[in-house]
Amino acid sequence: STPAVMLSAMAAAARGGVLFKSSAALDALARVNTIAFDKTGTLTQARMTVARVVADDEAGALALAAGLESHSEHPIARAVVAAAQAQSVSFVPVRNAQAVPGLGITATLEGGESVWAGNLRLMTREGASLTPVQDAALRELNAQGSSSVIVGMGNRVVAVMGVSDTLRPGIAEAIAGLRTAGVAHQVMLTGDKMEVAQAVAHELGLTEYRAELLPEDKLRIMGELPGPLAMVGDGVNDAPALARADLGIAVASGTDVAIESADVVLMQNDLGKLAGAVRLAKDARRTVI
Ligand code: ADP
Ligand code: MG
């Protein structure tokens, strides 16, 4: 049975918004040496906004993108849907919508044409390429550290959209606090572009980061980082890594599958609460041993 001191530590953590699913999870947090963070939706806010649309027909492009993205749970998808709603653009209906984790989403129009929204990898997979104007727009967005979405129909790129994202408040302090609490290594893992990752890492004082990762890359990296290892994530793409890590931590604003795969849930999406939980866990462990 679980020692009373661990139960009371779990209760105290829960009052602070850190929900441990088991006493084993509390014990694991006390021993964690490395924490890996997903970027989008974890270090950054789940609320992104579409800041720029580069297309011949902007409203048409937004209508198509929103039709696709209304079938996705990704923070980028929510931003696209919100932008279309804000401009009262009605969504293009799509069929067979399929999320491609780490890449984007694909579907077909009523007439059978394939349509898609996602990153360069997805574009390449769809056999499409950028016009010089679109290429220049994408480079400019990358240079600014903005995330982007490419929207296409068959092998034609219809639009390039810039999506702006803001860090969750207090995130740099949260990471510094974990260091103080004795977690030696902090690493950012992201499916986003290298330039975007660099900008965010720099802002947070994170010296270790890996970018342009597919879900299977995140999973593989779980086995390469010095353990015991905790992974913090929000997305469908993070679920395998959350399950594989010694300790999976999900933000409550994340997808259901991330929350189910995790051992700990941050109820207020506040990573600032983690350092305190590490201290509680260490104290409880010391008392039990
Ligand atoms: P992160 O690891 O930073 O949370 P993800 O692995 O969720 O990022 O996504 C990786 C990349 O895949 C995103 O940066 C984006 O380019 C693309 N992507 C994933 N899902 C979507 C989507 N629904 N719409 C557009 N792009 C997407
Ligand atoms: Mg994410």
pLDDT of residue 2: 81
Per-residue pLDDT reduced to its tens digit, 76-120: 999 999 999 999 999 999 999 999 988 999 999 999 999 999 999
From ligand 1's centre to the CA of 127, what distance in Å? 19
pLDDT of residue 73: 87
pLDDT of residue 288: 79
CATH class, range 4-45+167-288: alpha beta
CATH class, range 49-164: alpha beta
pLDDT of residue 145: 83
- The residues placing their C-beta within 5 Å of ligand 2, an ion, are 38, 40-41, 234-235
User: Using a 6 Å cutoff on CB, does residue 233 contact ligand 1?
Assistant: no
Annotated catalytic, 57? no
From ligand 2's centre to the CA of 118, what distance in Å? 14
User: Using a 6 Å cutoff on CB, does residue 162 contact ligand 1?
Assistant: no
Phi-psi region of 212 (alpha: psi -120 to 50; beta: other; left: phi over 0): left
| Assembly ipTM | 0.94
Ligand 1 pocket test, candidate residues 45, 74, 218, most atoms within 8 A of CB: 74
**Residue with CA nearest ligand 1 atom 8:** 191
From ligand 2's centre to the CA of 272, what distance in Å? 18
Identify the segments of the chain with pLDDT beneath 70.
Answer: none
Domain residue ranges of the chain, discontinuous segments joined by +: 4-45+167-288, 49-164
User: Using a 6 Å cutoff on CB, does residue 165 contact ligand 1?
Assistant: no
Per-residue pLDDT reduced to its tens digit, 45-70: 878 999 999 999 999 999 999 999 99
User: Using a 6 Å cutoff on CB, does residue 255 contact ligand 1?
Assistant: no
